[in-house]
Amino acid sequence: MQRAHSSFPIEHKETTVLKHVELDRTLKLEQQFADTSIQPTILVNVFDVDPKDRAAFKLAWAEDAAFFKRQPGYISAQLHQGIQGSSMFLNYAVFEGTKSFAGTTHQPSFEPLRRIYPDGSTAHPHLFRRLAVPGICTGDEEWSPNGQNPSTSTHGLTMADLDPSTPITAQLPDSTHKKPTIQITVYDVDPSDRDAFVTSWQKQAAGLMNRPGCLSQQLHTGLLGSRLFMSYTIWEQTSALADALAAIDTAAVNAHYPDSVTARSHLFRRLHIPGICVGEADGREKLAVSSRMMPAG
């Protein structure tokens, strides 16, 4: 079965405004706005940022988040920064529903915010919903297997890096830091293999629950025909993940997944941005009230 191409690996692109590249190239963000569910919607936005622009990016994001915070239907936003020299940031934002988020992006005050980000930055947004998986995590959408016949599995899941410039193997030496680490894994799954994927993920997650230092795991499913799933796993510290990976037969675990699945992982730490979110890492350096701060619209 020929697979549709996703946007991975995320490329480093030069541009004069905030570049928008779909996280799932088979589905535009605007197409997801057709979601009519009244359940909470999760915006996951992965940013690729030049290392020299990290401080400027955090300042721009703080202004952007302050604008969203004033809008109806906004619940929360949490900025994450990739560890060990990563060029990636990730925003995990919760809205009352897709309608709330879509309405905010249609406001006249929204578009100018795209121009306050550093040149060369790229955003990869996608809308998800938290998936309830028995024994592992609760969610706003129930997983209901529908008897799909998965494609034949010969080699199982393919592993890759969300940011090839900073592979997860280069992030594991962070083990000396005694702060919680967030493991984000984005899965590209053929639609015919969705049930088989969730079943495999459930088994793997059950094994990780027994590992020291694994605090929680949450699976998310992309909205409206998305190929993507995303897991959000909190570890007490990076060394706990490193120990788990050393103890697990990764090849055997991966073999249980359908062949269509590609998994791309990256390690982050939550940032503290005053007035917006708290975190284990301090994102406040060089942050100040900017003269560009826009009034509530």
Q: What is the pLDDT of residues 86-129, one digit of tens each?
A: 999 999 999 999 999 999 999 999 999 999 999 999 999 999 99
Residue 287's pLDDT is 55
Distances (CA, A) of 208 to 48, 67, 212, 213: 29, 38, 9, 9
User: For residue 265, with 0-12 CB atoms within 10 Å meaning exposed, 13-18 middle and 19 or more buried, which class applies?
Assistant: buried
- Which pLDDT score, from 0 to 100, does residue 144 have? 77
Task: Quickly count: other Cβ atoms within 10 Å of residue 287's Cβ.
Answer: 18
Are 99 and 71 in contact, with CB atoms under 8 Å apart?
Answer: no
* C-alpha to C-alpha distance for 211 and 15, rounded to whole angstroms: 43
β-pair type (122-132, 19-20): parallel
3-state secondary structure of 208: helix
Beta bridge partner(s), residue 182: 234, 268
For residue 129, which of 44, 238, 191 has the smallest C-alpha distance? Answer: 44
Residues 6+ apart with CB under 8 A from 236: 180, 181, 212, 213, 215
The pLDDT value recorded for residue 151 is 60
**113's tokens:** 């915010």
- Given a cut of 70, the residues of the chain with pLDDT beneath it are 1-16, 146-153, 175-176, 284-297
pLDDT of residue 1: 35
Q: For the structural domain made of 19-282, what CATH number should be given?
A: 3.30.70.100
Q: What percent of the residues of the chain are helix, what percent strand, and what percent coil, each to the nearest 5?
A: 25, 30, 45
CB burial string 7-32: b at 16+ within 10 A, e below? bbebeeeeeeebbeebbbebbebebb
Is-contact 142 61, C-beta < 8 A?
A: no
Q: What is the pTM of this model?
A: 0.89
